[in-house]
Amino acid sequence: MMVIADSRMPEKAKKQLTKLVKPIWLEPSPHVYDSISAHPDIFFCQHPNLLIAAPEISEKIKKELDKAKINWISGDKNPGSKYPKTALYNAVALPDLLIHNIKLTDRKILDHYKNGNYLHVNQGYTRCNLISLDEQYFICSDKGIAQKLENIGKTVLYIDPLQIRLAGHKHGFLGGCCGIWQQQLILCGNPVNLKEYENLVCFTQKADYQIVSLSDEVLTDVGSLLFIA
């Protein structure tokens, strides 16, 4: 098991993450704007059986993935400098459902959903806003995405994104704070000060997940923690 993470994430969380699992630190790319330039969810899409990576990822990272025998392929295009071209890989990919703004999705991701099992949402930064605990339970910081999921019978907890820190911006997004590892919701920061904290605890327990905080600091959007095996 490994994790792809932003090399610039807060030091306390970074040290704790390293204790859990071997990290692959993503360095900033000059091709997208600075605040997201080392965010994994800008350059990778995590399909259940495959990691789809932007062609521009470094040879060093490619070698690390190969050495760890990670099943991965290169995507079709590199992210552009500004939204929406930064959102090509920012999808939530489940075994039988792709959730994204399908107008933006990289072709190599779409190739794995040729049966048309798409849930099209307006928000291109889907993974930034959304984490799936499993195929039924979702935590989300975008009301439009939440409504689309509820419309197809999914169980969704909404978290106000104004509580999430992202340097250079008014706020970040919930999905960008976290990743899933061994039935645990791993968070960059501590959710205790969220106004929805009690609901979050109940929600994760209902889905048979535990919450793990990497630090006692405010929740910080680090472009997702992508745990891969």
Question: Burial of 195 by CB count in 10 Å (0-12 exposed, 13-18 middle, 19+ buried)?
Answer: exposed
Encode pLDDT of 59-76 as tens digits.
999 999 999 999 999 999
Mean pLDDT over 189-206 rounds to 98
Which pLDDT score, from 0 to 100, does residue 115 have?
Answer: 84
Task: Supply the CATH number for residue 156's domain.
Answer: 3.75.10
Instruction: Identify whether the C-beta of residue 175 lies closer than 8 Å to the C-beta of residue 149.
Output: no
Angstrom distance (rounded) from CA 97 to CA 167: 32
Angstrom distance (rounded) from CA 50 to CA 104: 19
Mean pLDDT over 116-142 rounds to 97
Mean pLDDT over 200-208 rounds to 98
Answer whether 0.95 is exceeded by the pTM: yes
pLDDT at residue 54 greater than cutoff 90: yes
Encode pLDDT of 13-52 as tens digits.
999 999 999 999 999 999 999 999 999 999 999 998 899 9
Domain residue limits at 38: 2-228
Nearest to 135 by CA among 152, 112, 123: 152
Mean pLDDT over 152-168 rounds to 97
Instruction: Identify whether the C-beta of residue 159 lies closer than 8 Å to the C-beta of residue 145.
Output: no
In the chain, the number of structural domains is 1
Mean pLDDT over 200-209 rounds to 98
Which pLDDT score, from 0 to 100, does residue 177 have?
Answer: 98
